[in-house]
Chains A and B, each alone.
Chain A
């Protein structure tokens, strides 16, 4: 991660201080040494204190803003003409497309004054090294994939990619999101980032495994839930996840799980999801297992066993290999290292050079690392800079589409959801903090602007009813200028306040990610 080499950072849809505190520390430190941070976020998050500029856009108007910025960048010739000529495709199409986003229109959609849009565009485009970091504020929309396309358009237009201190940095929310995908835990991808539809590679894996592999792309989680609704999904196996609390439209998800013939949950605790299962299996947790994780910048690092697990808990992989053997496909690994060595064989281009011994000696290696003498790869996409002899990439023009459920006369507020600093996800682990540990927040709140609190005659700390078309919760009010008027914020950390009964089951058609970031709610005194 080379944030400290960048001159300008666009931080968009990421409350880094709360969700990625150590990365935030590096950003703040870099800001003290001259990094110009531009925060693009509906909320006045803590990182705005280290920023040269904050654009508090309306929730879900990211594409309008980015299209407006790119329009300004092209009009003023601030884009990287040489790079665009050598590297990009579809520039003329992008340029025509952006003409639909003049500044006055963009100001109206985003709520950002025109001069601020121009200034942010100028800072990013004219920087020697500009970087974009984003998180779920970009992806958790019905247009999440289009949001990401537009970020890529910005980087391509300015040439801010493939050099130190530039590029696009999606900050991963869980320790091994990157690794789970790399290992093939995706409906369309085999281990090593290989598409399932790549016949040659799939057949090669069939040989290694000694079984045929279904060539049909599977369903995303969202698609699986739809199949449950239709009664076509009969069996579900869940490892270490609590979707009943974590997923949108909670009441609906619970009903869907009840339609299954058979549900297995493998976890550390009897979670809300495990309660619904036919069989619950006790797994070992962090500090009880050996293995590797892959972090947000492709860095593979060791995790090690430190303490024994309670009772009969077993390694997740041990449970699956025992089950597999009973079901007639014997898998018999002696250790996590043996599994990892199979991964290295199956995906040699990425992991071939990463033995446990090397990871032990060198602490971390970034993939691709194809052989034992390879130092790992800190910077990718350098081939964009080979003066027209290297890689090319197309612009993908995208249009702004407003959140699916906008506020109206009855549901007058927009609710946006996210994370807080101390709890983690559904709080099944962080609720065990010792009581002696000083904390900022011990229960969920609905964060509301003083203007709205005054208007509704609600005091800080007062309990209110928040309801959407799907459900309602009772929650304490936190009056704060962190949110804009007409916008409220809640997290889904505390099961006593199941925020996801409120959120809407609308999804991005490509990624299947739900629109956690915007739905309409009303707030009433009780």
Chain B
């Protein structure tokens, strides 16, 4: 049997911020439990925190960039997908200005992702049309 790895982390569901310990075997999460030394939850978890991780290993996960052609998605490389997006967004910015672009940021992603998201929107697209699901 392979060794079980324990990783200290923070729950990604509601805003409570419970400390969790993720137990991993063979690159698969096998258990999630509350971290007793976490200041917020002191070891407790709710059903989402303890059992809501199975989506991570789901077969339904997206695994490749997809480009829609004639109403159908086809797989592409990162290079092709990003070049395509770059062309489209540059054209929109040139023809209509940055204000014709919007970004829906993600209130479940990390601070680091959110910092880069707004930096991209402001520095690259020249737009302040950035908002998230924070309001709902």
A→B interface (CB under 8 Å):
1, 19-23, 25, 136, 139-140, 171-188, 190-191, 196, 209, 211-214, 216-224, 227, 232-241, 243, 246-247, 261-262, 264, 267-270, 274, 277-283, 285-297, 299-308, 310-317, 319-324, 326-329, 331, 333, 336, 339-340, 342-343, 363-364, 421-422, 424, 428-434, 437, 439, 511-514, 516
Contacts and interface: CB of A to CB of B under 8 A. Distances in A.
Contacts of A191: 115, 118
Given A25-B44, A220-B131, A304-B8, A243 B104 contact: yes
A430 B12 CA distance: 12
Given A267-B62, A303-B9, A234 B96 contact: yes
5 contacts: A172-B14, A173-B136, A174-B14, A187-B129, A306-B7
Contacts of B133: 174, 177, 221, 241, 243, 246
A128 to B, nearest CB: 25
Nearest to B53: A287
B113 to A, nearest CB: 4
B68 A279 contact: yes
B61 A311 contact: yes
Interface in B57-91: 57-58, 60-68, 73, 78, 81-86, 88-90
A190 to B, nearest CB: 8
B78 A19 contact: no
Given A180-B114, A302-B9, A213 B122 contact: yes
Nearest to A24: B46
Nearest to A260: B102
Given A175-B15, A237-B103, A343-B112, A136 B136 contact: yes
B105 to A, nearest CB: 4
A237 B118 CA distance: 12
A211 B17 contact: no
Contacts of B119: 209, 324, 331
A343 B119 CA distance: 11
B17 A183 contact: no
Contacts of A238: 103-104
Nearest to A492: B136
Nearest to A220: B131
B116 A187 contact: no
B39 A184 contact: no
Contact of B92 (A185, A262, A294, A313): A262
B1 interface: no
A176 B111 contact: yes
B8 to A, nearest CB: 6
Given A286-B12, A424-B52, A185 B130 contact: yes
A186 B89 contact: no
Contact of A180 (B57, B88, B107): B107
Contacts of B129: 187, 218-219, 223-224, 233
B64 to A, nearest CB: 5
B124 A307 contact: no
Given A136-B136, A343-B115, 4 more contacts: A176-B109, A185-B114, A186-B132, A322-B78
A432 B15 contact: no
Contacts of A512: 131, 135
A328 to B, nearest CB: 8
Interface residues of B, number: 98
Contacts of B81: 279, 281
Contacts of A217: 128
A321 B116 contact: yes
A506 to B, nearest CB: 14
A302 B10 contact: yes
A342 B29 CA distance: 32
Contacts of B24: 306-307
A357 to B, nearest CB: 14
Contacts of B12: 175, 286, 293, 303
B92 A234 contact: yes
A117 B110 CA distance: 42
Interface in B1-31: 5, 7-19, 22, 24, 27-29
Contacts of B41: 22
Contact of B85 (A209, A214, A279): A279
A212 B47 CA distance: 46
| B10, B49, B96, B130: residue with the most chain A Cβ atoms closer than 10 Å | B10
A333 B17 CA distance: 26
Contacts of A264: 85
A317 B68 contact: no
A423 B38 CA distance: 24
B61 A268 contact: yes
B116 A173 contact: no
B29 A307 contact: yes
A373 to B, nearest CB: 20
Contacts of B7: 287, 304-306
A235 B101 contact: yes
B100 A235 contact: yes
Nearest to A240: B106
A429 to B, nearest CB: 4
A250 to B, nearest CB: 13
Contact of B55 (A25, A172, A262, A268): A268
Contact of A312 (B46, B63, B124, B132): B63
A26 to B, nearest CB: 9
| A211, A214, A282, A300: residue with the most chain B Cβ atoms closer than 10 Å | A214
A428 B37 CA distance: 30
B15 A172 contact: yes
A324 B44 contact: no
Contacts of B66: 279-281
A180 B132 CA distance: 8
A422 B122 contact: no
